[in-house]
Amino acid sequence: MIGKKLGGRYEILDRVGGGGMAVVYKAKDNLLDRIIAVKILRPQYAIDDDFVHRFRREAQAAASLSHPNIVSIYDVGVEEDTHYIIMEYVEGNTLKEYINENAPLATDEAIKIAKQIAEALEHAHFNQIIHRDIKPHNILVGQNKRVKVTDFGIARAVTSATITHTGSVIGSVHYFSPEQARGGMTGEKSDIYSLGIVLYEMLTGELPFSGESPISVALKHLQESYTEPRALNPRIPQSVENIILRCLAKDPTQRYPSAKVLIRDLDTCLHTDRLTEDKYTVDQGDDEEATKVVPVVREDMYETKVHRNQKDEEEEDEEEWEEKRKKKPFWVKFLIFLAVFVIVVFGLYQVAAKLLYVPDVVVENVTNKPLEEAIAILEAQGLRVDYSRELPSDEVEEGYIISQVPVPDATVKKETFVRLTVSTGKDKEKMPPVEAMAEETALRILTRAGFSTENIQIERESHPSVQKGFVIKQEPAADEFVIIDDTKVVLIISEGKPTFGMPRLIGKSRDEAESLLQSNNLVLEKVEEDFSDAPIGTVYRQHPVEPHEQVAEGTPIRIWVSKVLRKPSVKSRRTLLSF
């Protein structure tokens, strides 16, 4: 596709990404002279009418939306079985890539991103469009941190508060709502649930539900609880965790009623008076997914059948009836079969239980212990250890355990994974660059960054090229990660060019003076000749510095060279003799 031109104006430049249904290219609109994005339906789906209709529906749905947090749609077309959509090009990465590089995100940054997504959803919902596939892969983060929601490929305009799609469940299994997993009706609150998972992932770096197959993940959305965010990242304020808990309520009626209400909560969740608010609890109510008790089958349920059998038997001849009476009734045979079956199953269960039994283990507390010691303790209990998660901590020393999941004293089966969060020590900041800056400017930048004046050491030395009073070198180096409170900063300040004693030129011949200046890297700026009492051709004066004063390399020097005195005239001699 690279180099191909669509619609006579859209020139394909490069591939930038793709999904299961389409591929996205960077292109140039030659008519308007601007960079755009082109989404092209994969060839294998171009012959599928269902996919083509869904692809076109993306353009129709998204084109009606105009919002700074939604990728704009400019054009749609088809050319030789190539179906394409022309969209706004966003320079940056997907939110998924941003999370992979930076998770867990700072709380205020995650809230800002979530708010922009919610504002995009509010606009879409107002226009009766449900996205149904909110996930970090469909959210772009521009260079100015502007968030834009894209890929309305499975969105669909609705005339009421819900949306359905017969015969399929559309969406990404890790992010879709329980009602999507159930294949039921989805609406605005499904998007809110998905946004809650995105916020969970931004703040913890983890997904609430994972499994070996899409079906297992979908069942967890329906039936299982998840590890609460603050158990994975204790730095999350309670007010922010409450937002996630409410978004991820399995019952849609307990979620936020709209994206607008969610935005109001995001606006205030970091206010000081809310940071320690009470924890939000979800009312479980009558859980449709809970195990149901099957009612006991009573004899009166068979009453109709018994009457029917009696009627049939009365119609048979008496001899045949007597023969049947001598035979064992069917229900007796059934009970015998059932008893044998139960005994066999019970026996097999006992054998299997002994073979498959996994003993319980009470998880030991390994917090505040070195990583190696913690691993040894847990593995000795028959548990498996995951220690890939790392977080900074002001209280826990580097290489020691901050927290563990499951928590200490929890009862689990052997071979269960225990996830450890390992401290990376105190939070580290990038060392600001101050080289080649004036001393006062460098000190001001360092103190603003948090370095105390007691931890800043000044050393001075001469330098052939760095101006006096400017920083020659800094330690630690720029952009090196350091702990501000524990780091001593050394600044080497230039004293200017190195100096030395000015050589004595007076009394030397002009050639000797020039040679001496050249050997000392001094510049002979000017030579003046004048009458003096000094021997002819010798230096009798030098400027601007006197002999033995300090001078730097490259300093311009002027010298005066003596020339012969003129003989006085006869008149002048007579005047002198008269004295």
The SS3 of residue 405 is strand
Q: Is 278 a catalytic residue?
A: no
| d(C-alpha 494, C-alpha 471), whole Å | 6
Exposure on the CB side of residue 405, measured as CA atoms within 13 A: 17
Exposure on the CB side of residue 289, measured as CA atoms within 13 A: 15
| d(C-alpha 399, C-alpha 424), whole Å | 6
Nearest to 463 by CA among 434, 502, 495: 495
Cβ proximity of 163 and 136 under 8 Å? no
Secondary-structure percent of the chain, ordered helix, strand, coil, rounded to 5:
35, 25, 40
| d(C-alpha 298, C-alpha 459), whole Å | 96
**Active-site residue among 29, 75, 133, 287?**
133
DSSP designation for 555? -
Chain centroid offset of residue 477 CA: 26
Nearest to 95 by CA among 201, 224, 234: 201
| d(C-alpha 157, C-alpha 306), whole Å | 56
Name residues whose C-beta falls within 8 Å of residue 322's C-beta, 6 or more positions apart in sequence. none
127's tokens:
């226009």
The alpha-carbon radius of gyration of the chain (Å, integer) is 43
Cβ proximity of 524 and 557 under 8 Å? yes
Which residues are tagged catalytic?
Answer: 133
